Amino acid sequence: MEYTAKSIANLISGEIIGSPNTKVTTISKIQEAQKGALSFLANPAYLNYLNTTKASIVLINKEFVPKERIKPTLIVVDDSYKAFATLVNLSQKLKNVELSGIENNSFVHKEAILGENVYIGAFSYISQNAVIGDNVKIYPQVYIGENVEIGENTIIHPGVKVYHDCKIDKNCIIHSGVIIGSDGFGFAPQKDGTYLKIQQIGNVVIEENVEIGSNTTIDRATLGSTIIKSGVKLDNLIQIAHNVEIDQNTVIAAQTGIAGSTKIGKNCLIGGQAGFVGHIKIADKTNIGAQAGIVKSVKNEGTILLGSPAFELTKFHKSYSVFKNLPEMRNEIEDLKKQIKLLEEKLGTTNK
């Protein structure tokens, strides 16, 4: 699609420096952009590219406005990165609006309920009593189980599997390979050394405006629900076990593992490869560093944790100042032991 500088500026409340009739048809990085591309400048480290870029339009922060005339048309805003993200989101929404209808080789059960303007890609399977809201986009090779509910404007990318009875609210984005509602890891040990499977009869509930990265798995509850609350953002390759609850607007990076029945509060930031034991509670606004091991509940809001097992930031820094020097300290202790031994031998008091 083609956009003018004027139409773009109107969308993001920007001020134009240059021709309002400049047109763009694509989006590119400022250092790679060619004629007809829209780009943005948010990081001062890239200021030099403003003079060399071939982009036709560049979004720019007010503090970066050059004194001399440059080639691209500029659109000046308070936050160019935010403005750029807004435009990209609008562009993607327009693309998704164009998708509609049921493609060949897909299956929709006669008792499934579809809203208006739904798209279902080829080789997808929509089970009995599934309820699909208005403007939902289901890409190819998706499985939607019995009694699943999907809210309006949600996008489900190729290869997603949503097991029976799970619920996904409106405006969610589920990326390729995600599995929602597979069995929780529940087995009871027996006297003969074998394990008895505990049937997982709960479900998964995902509230509105949640985004889930590729190949993340969210297990169904043993009883009740595994709950992902509104605004949560999950990266790729995350494992969320049965009966976990993640509260609003928490962000979790890739390869994190959360054991069963753990409750994570609102607005938490969790780094990649963090691990949580089960049956603990994490206070709101907790920040957890990458590869941290969380082995007990966090009670105080705003706590920052590092390490494995994890402990509070100030204590971690104090400890780090010690353990980073352990090799040198060990050598010093060994030298002292040798000196003490020599001294004892001279004094004739060697311990036997």
Point out the residues that are catalytic: 242
Rounded to whole angstroms, how far apart are CA atoms 60 and 74? 7
Distance, C-alpha 243 to centroid of its chain: 20
Rounded to whole angstroms, how far apart are CA atoms 211 and 162? 15
* Residue count of the chain: 352
**HSE, side-chain direction, 13 A CA sphere, residue 235:** 14
Q: Under a CB-based contact definition with an 8 Å cutoff, are residues 285 and 300 in contact?
A: no
Secondary structure (3-state) at 88 = helix
- CB contact set of 246 (below 8 Å; sequence gap of 6+): 227, 228, 229, 232, 240, 252, 258, 264
**Residue 197 carries which side chain, given as an amino acid letter?**
K
Q: Under a CB-based contact definition with an 8 Å cutoff, are residues 221 and 202 in contact?
A: yes
Other Cβ atoms closer than 10 A to 266: 17
